[in-house]
Amino acid sequence: MRQRGVRSGCTGRRISCGIVRRIHCSMVEGRVEVIQWGNDMNKGYWVVAYRKVFDQATVKNYAALLGATLEKFGGRMLVSPTSAVTTHEAGLQQMTVVVEFDSYEIALSAYESDDHKKTLTALGPGVERDFRIAEGV
């Protein structure tokens, strides 16, 4: 039985929440399936700006490997590395990627997963990037 205000995340670790969200994550055929009871779950986003790319081939290799991790966690690419980006105000012209997940918790779990950690080794020191995980409203 779960304690009020605390629940198990998809990674098996316990996550403390201010608001209890009724989500059940389970592994089904290698893909995270999310069953939601209620409509209080906010989507999660990876927002990545590549400040410097030292080796384009490394980025392409990383992107190819990343697809399997995104699929496993239900991630959807909203802005790809080849998408047009128009900057305003203090914005910098940088390659930008946005990935959407069904929840903020899944976005965190995907980033912290062993699959993604292995994928990151392919990226190595080939880039300098600003990686943020944000919760939608």
* pLDDT, mean of residues 110-126: 92
CB 13 within 8 A of CB 109: no
- Mind listing the pLDDT tens digit for each residue in 83-94? 999 999 999 999
Lowest mean pLDDT segment, chosen from 20-29, 47-56, 79-88: 20-29
* Of residues 49 and 37, more confidently modeled: 49
Complete domains list, the chain, with CATH: 41-135 (3.30.70.100)
Whether residue 26 is predicted with pLDDT greater than 60 in this model: the reply is: no
